[in-house]
Structure 1
Amino acid sequence: MSAMRLVIIALLSLTLISGCSSWRSDPTRDWSASQLYEEAKSALNRGSYDRAVELYETLEARFPFGRHAQQAQLEIAYAYYKAQEPEMAIAAIDRFLQINPRHPHVDYAYYLRGLTNFERDLSFINRWIPQDQSRRDAAPLRDAFEDFGNLVRNFPDSRYSQDARDRMMHLRNMLADHELYIADFYMRRGAWLAAAKRASYVIEHYDQSDAVPQALVIMVRAYRELDMNDLADDALRVLQLNFPEEAQRQRLSHLPQPHRSS
């Protein structure tokens, strides 16, 4: 027998011995599905998220067709969410929805997806220190709005639907403020047409948001600068009709008045 074959046989033997030793030393090797689930749940509740994920994955691997395995798929997602690993949480939620489209907790899966996207770009510091929400990346906020919308449309009587509606209102204001932040950026650089388009987008897509009055103000100013006086007059009339107090306040701040042709 060649020396090379002896080396290979020795390595294989060590691997098998190591594997058997590892299995014998695994304290969960004789656990039932319910015991694995309860231990994983306990780890989750005490904040040991990595351990919870490990136990949930072990449960799903050993007992893939039981009710505990289905619940484990969803609670793994929650563990990732609590561990601030949004990409892993989203992947776990999507997998759960794909495998269990009729599961009784599908509504919660959409809710958790919305929460995960809402907090997706928040750093540890920003979770505790107030920040200018208008400067956040809008993409995950739009995703969160869509997730909560899916929940409200498909499960209007869900226990999570009212909170989802409240969060959608908040998200609508945040997304509108984000558009105004960009519009202001353009205005400070003299890009009046781009600013007007951003403000118009707010009126068209976030008409119930608190940002509408300021969007109209931006449209008036931008269209005046572009000598598009008819559009400026239209925006100002809408502002005066629907938000007279804001129109009055802006007039005192020298907001240009409707153009009158001679």
Structure 2
Amino acid sequence: MPLYQNREFTTLMTLKNSRLRIFLASCILLLGACASNDELDSQANAAEQQIYSEAQKYLRSKNYDMAIKALQQLESRYPFGKYAEQAQLEIIYAHYGAYEPEAAIEAANRFIRLHPQHPSIDYAFYMKGLAAYSGNSNIFSRFLPTSESSRDTKHIEEAFTEFAQLLARFPESEYGADARARMVHLRNLLARHEIDVANYYFRRGAYLAAVNRGRYVIENYQGSTAMADALAVMAHGYLLLDMPELAQTSIDTLKVNYPDHPSLSDSGEFDVAQVDEADQSWINKVSLGLFDPPQPPQFNYEP
């Protein structure tokens, strides 16, 4: 066999062996990379779950400030992780618990915008109502016996609107019954506010303005707890305006519908001196725990 043929054969075999070695090395590297990626994914999942567990611990202990930080950290590090949506939902609750109603509403709006088809989106609407109402108070008023109706009604009206939107969009929501109860309470507060304003007008000598406030309650808040006081306000105002016939009409209506009202004496006569006392005795009582929100629904994240 010629020498040059042996050289060609040797060169060819060398090339084949080199390619084989390169191929085998590539396979080994690829397998190593896959194993390395699996290990990294496992570590990342463990770290994500650890942060989420920390956030849950803070929520259970009502350490809402730390819970917010943990949930924000979770979302920033793992924006597409399996706990990301849950973190966005729970941060609404955490902001509410931390007396940060505006932040809670902002977080709820963000969740609604990002996850319009989420199975717990009704919870976000529900929390918007709670947060809107809590904007009417501060940390001190939650523990001090103050009259809610004497505060600005802007947040009460906003909360009422949010709960109404929840019921309109999700009539079968598990939060529906609670939202309806809160709307009744808020409606009573709005009606009571009108009576508070009427009493202010009485002290200022603006009797016609006081009568108009009473009439507004009768026309717009039928069935509220302030109805009887509204009739008493109208009767009192008409007497002060020297309009006895209109005053008697209000008194007669009061006797028929609310015979035990404090402004009526035992004999059924209207006692002007008892009107202010009636205002105090008919203030709507807030049920204990009525405004304690439920925590966000939990989901099973096991694969």
TM (norm. structure 1) is: 0.76
Deviates more, 1:224-233 or 1:32-41: 224-233
Identify which of 127, 130, 136 aligns with 2:151: 136
1:59 is matched with 74
Deviates more, 1:31-40 or 1:202-211: 31-40
1:37 is matched with 52
Identify which of 175, 181, 186 aligns with 2:201: 186
Taking the aligned partners of 1:236 and 1:64, their CA distance within structure 2 comes to: 65
Identify which of 210, 229, 242 aligns with 2:225: 210
Q: Deviations over 1:84-119 (max 9, x none)?
A: 111111111121122222221122112212222222
Identify which of 222, 243, 247 aligns with 2:258: 243
CA 136–254 in structure 1, closer or farther in 2 if over 3 Å, else same: closer
Taking the aligned partners of 1:186 and 1:32, their CA distance within structure 2 comes to: 62
**Structure 2 counterpart of 1:251, which letter?**
E
Do structure 1's residue 114 and structure 2's residue 132 form an aligned pair?
no
**Structure 1 counterpart of 2:59, which letter?**
L
More relative contact order, 1 or 2 (CA 8 Å, 6+ apart): 2
**Structure 2 counterpart of 1:220, which letter?**
A
Deviates more, 1:164-173 or 1:41-50: 41-50
Q: Deviations over 1:118-175 (max 9, x none)?
A: 2223333322232222222211112222222222333232222222222222222222
Q: Deviations over 1:71-95 (max 9, x none)?
A: 2112111111111111111111121
Structure 1, unmatched stretches of 5+, are 1-28, 256-262
CA-atom RMSD, angstroms? 2.5
Taking the aligned partners of 1:98 and 1:193, their CA distance within structure 2 comes to: 48
| Bigger radius of gyration | 2
Tell me the secondary structure at the aligned position of residue 224 of structure 2: coil
Identify which of 127, 130, 136 aligns with 2:142: 127
Taking the aligned partners of 2:209 and 2:113, their CA distance within structure 1 comes to: 41
Tell me the secondary structure at the aligned position of residue 70 of structure 2: helix
Structure 2, unmatched stretches of 5+, are 1-42, 274-303
Taking the aligned partners of 1:52 and 1:252, their CA distance within structure 2 comes to: 57
Identify which of 140, 161, 166 aligns with 1:151: 166
1:24 is matched with none
Report deviation, 1:214. Answer: 0.9
Identify which of 271, 277, 280 aligns with 1:253: 271
**Structure 2 counterpart of 1:53, which letter?**
I
Are 2:52 and 2:74, in contact at CA under 8 Å, matched by a contact in 1? yes
Tell me the secondary structure at the aligned position of residue 128 of structure 1: coil
CA 208–66 in structure 1, closer or farther in 2 if over 3 Å, else same: farther
Tell me the secondary structure at the aligned position of residue 251 of structure 1: coil
Taking the aligned partners of 1:169 and 1:218, their CA distance within structure 2 comes to: 22
Taking the aligned partners of 2:253 and 2:113, their CA distance within structure 1 comes to: 47
CA 233–98 in structure 1, closer or farther in 2 if over 3 Å, else same: farther
**Structure 1 counterpart of 2:53, which letter?**
E
Report deviation, 1:37. Answer: 2.6
1:11 is matched with none
CA 54–254 in structure 1, closer or farther in 2 if over 3 Å, else same: closer
Taking the aligned partners of 1:65 and 1:154, their CA distance within structure 2 comes to: 28
Taking the aligned partners of 2:74 and 2:90, their CA distance within structure 1 comes to: 12
1:18 is matched with none
Identify which of 181, 189, 199 aligns with 2:214: 199
